[in-house]
Every structure is written in structure tokens, then in C-alpha cells.
Homo-oligomer: A and B are copies of this chain.
């Protein structure tokens, strides 16, 4: 890649267009801008004009939301991307890696829970103490607050 793109007009998008393409309400786009997640140029008449690459940022925000990642975290991740210029492959790569790590962590958590639930259903242990999912209280209660078993001990890494 690194195709030497000429400084073309790079057709800018209005907020309405970005909203349509991403499925995100205009008001939400305003909000994201307030939080510094996205940005836009302005016409002489003060209307927003988005670079095409902003659509990608918005898409990533949507994904993150879908995964329950708070906007502040998203902001952190996106902070690595330049607002003003088209992000390079390397830029995206960095962000992708961070994202992927988050995804993998979440998936692991889900799998753990899924496994435990499956176990419960399979073994019919639900009524008694053997079930890890539903009985984190008895053995673990003494260790202090927090449903450790349930949440998995994701202590450090996060």
C-alpha cells in the first residue's frame, strides 16, 4: 500500500451522510465529538464536514459499544489515531491489536461462564454446593466480597 495519494478534494461528508452510513444518530455524533472521539472540518457556514476515515472511527465506536466497552476506554484506544490525517496501516494495526486483546479477554470470560453453566445443566448439580456458578458464596464467602468464581480471576491483565 502506501499508495501516494494525490491531495485530492477527498469528498467530505456531511453529518447526515455519516449518520446514514454508520447508523449512528446525528445527536450521538455531536456527542462523540464533544468527547473528542471524532472530529470534523467546518464549512465557512460552520457545518461539519467529515473526512471519510472518520466513518471508520465511528464504526469502531459502534463495535466497542456493542461489546459493552465504555466510551472513555474507546477514547483511549482511538487516541492513537490521528484525527486530521488518514490513519496509516500501522495506526490501525495498533488499535486493532488493542481491540483484539479486549475481544479475546471478553470471549474467554464468556467461555468460562458458558462452560460452568453447561456443567451445571449437564451434571444436575444445581441444587448443591458443587456448582461453581451458582454457589460462589459458601466456600468463597470467607475470602471477602466479590463473586470471584463467577467473574473469573481476571486480576492483573485488565
Give me the interface of A with B, judged by CB distance under 8 Å. 1-3, 19-23, 52, 55-56, 59-60, 62-63, 66-68, 88-89, 92-93, 96-97, 99-100, 103-104, 106-107, 109-111, 113-114, 117-118, 120-121, 124-128, 133-137, 140-141, 144-147, 150-151
Contacts and interface: CB of A to CB of B under 8 A. Distances in A.
B151 A66 contact: yes
B117 A103 contact: yes
Copies of the chain in the assembly:
2
Contact of A99 (B52, B99, B117, B124): B117
Given A21-B145, A63-B150, A107-B114, 10 more contacts: A1-B125, A1-B127, A1-B128, A60-B134, A62-B151, A63-B113, A66-B109, A67-B68, A97-B121, A104-B114
Contacts of A107: 107, 110-111, 114
Tell me whether chain A's interface is mostly helix, strand or loop, or mixed: helix
Contacts of A60: 134
